[in-house]
Amino acid sequence: MQEWLWMTAADLGRGIGAGEIDPLALTETYLAAIDAHPEAHRVYARVTHGRARAEAKAASLRAASGHRLSALDGVPVSWKDLFDTAGIVTEAGTKLLDGRVPDEDADVLKAATASGLVCLGKTHMSEIAFSGLGLNPIMGTPPCINDKDAVPGGSSSGAAASVAFGLAAAAIGSDTGGSVRIPSAWNDLVGLKTTHGRLSTEGVVALCAQFDTVGPLCRSVEDAGLLLALLEGSKPADLAGATLKGARFAILDTVTLDDLREAPRAAFESAVARLEAAGATIIRIQMPELHDAFYHGFNLYAADSYGHWRDLVEAHPEKMFPHILERVRGGQHVTGADYVASWIKMKAIRKAHDALIAGFDAVIMPTAPIMPPHAERLMTDDEYYKSENLLALRNTRIGNLMGGVSLTLPTGVPSCGIMFNAAPHCEEKLLRIGTAAAKALS
């Protein structure tokens, strides 16, 4: 049964469908692994033993009667602690929401439960989801699978750790500036950032409502496609026969390749060579407008986050990690006129971006220009914290600013991912590209 802990969600689902895996036994295996793991308290904010067992028992009965609800009916997953869970504390990684108990599940959790997914519990995260590092000295910093002294990436930090350490078959996180993709990359997972608005954020604690998205962290592209479908109640993408032959990728030279550390650079170059060997054509492009996008993006993120959190933050600033408090307060001086003007500029840049990439299947870049930073140094060196935090999310933020869809895949080099960006609402196309790319990179 221990081998179940390392199987993809899709393979577990197939095992359940074939009668080889009992959902209740599978869930008990995961719960036992969580309860026995020495770092579980750093991964899970709380484990929902009772809910998991009840949902697994129901899945077991459905499997026995041949009436499964979906391909993943009976598969146990974790949920980032900003998804509302009825009767279960949901705190978004902050003491500002200490003891907050929602009355009902978030919409996506309702959809997942209706499709038979089993909720194992709620995972730790960066405070209010406002950091790509995963450092949370107040509520808990999860471990990184490749470096015991490093942060795991954030803000879906515990989500990534739950999968990487074999404590969940997959995880559901959120991505506002890279919060699914950075922890996925640094823990050698697949991470999907969905188009803004495709998946409901009703019942999800907001950071920046105009950029917040929901997405899976998992072991395979197939898993990402199945989870996307379950979270919105749609049909999974058809990934059969996916190939890179004839695919056209653009390497975005503007910004994304600046200041790359040695390991991410080497991993990216190797990955590009393997994509080309599998039949892809790769062309380098420039987009000077990105510099303006980052400038206006500051106004948009800062005002949005401060607007959501101002009252709680200013009532109890002492409850927050100072670095997160400083970032939230960055929105204090963004005027309404600044915010509107920045959206006007951003929409024009998005239009130019979509026209530039229209002839390509995806734009590729290193997921992160840096390796997972040292956790203790982040706590003692303010300049190191600020520089690493900004660099961590630099490349991923492009997908959010441009409003598109983005997929990160492992390159085979620990904690180094390669990212594929595409235009809005191209999830199915990108999942097919990702399926073929993953084969070429494996």
Give the residue numbers marked as catalytic. Answer: 80, 155, 179
Q: Are 160 and 171 in contact (CB under 8 A)?
A: yes
Beta carbons within 8 Å of 220's beta carbon, 6+ residues apart: 8, 9, 10, 190, 438
Phi, psi dihedral angles at 365 (to 5 degrees): -165, 165
Rg (CA), the chain: 20
What are the residue ranges of helices labelled H in 21-171? 23-36, 40-43, 49-65, 107-114, 157-164
Cα–Cα dist 45/314, whole Å: 25
Q: Which DSSP category does 132 fall into?
A: S
- Cα dist. 114→162, 214, 292, 379 in Å? 22, 17, 43, 42
Residue 152 CA to residue 156 CA, distance in Å, equals: 9
- Token output for 330: 């960055």
Structure tokens at 52: 């998991």
Nearest to 84 by CA among 43, 122, 130, 129: 122
d(CA 23, CA 6): 15
Question: Roughly what angle, to the nearest 10 degrees, separates helices 289-315 and 336-357?
Answer: 140
One-letter amino acid of 33: A
Distances (CA, A) of 267 to 152, 271, 379: 19, 6, 28
Residues contacting residue 384 through CB under 8 Å, at least 6 positions apart: 373, 377, 378
Residues 281/282/286/291 CA torsion (nearest 10 deg): 120
With H, G, I as helix, E, B as strand and everything else as coil, classify residue 324: helix
Is there a contact between 73 and 63 (Cβ–Cβ < 8 Å)?
Answer: yes
CA 4 from centroid of its chain's CA atoms: 23
**E strand or H helix at 392, and its extent?**
helix 382-401
What residues pair up with 217 in beta bridges, in sequence order?
171, 191
- Residue linked to tokens 């969600």: 9
Tokens standing for 402? 């441009």
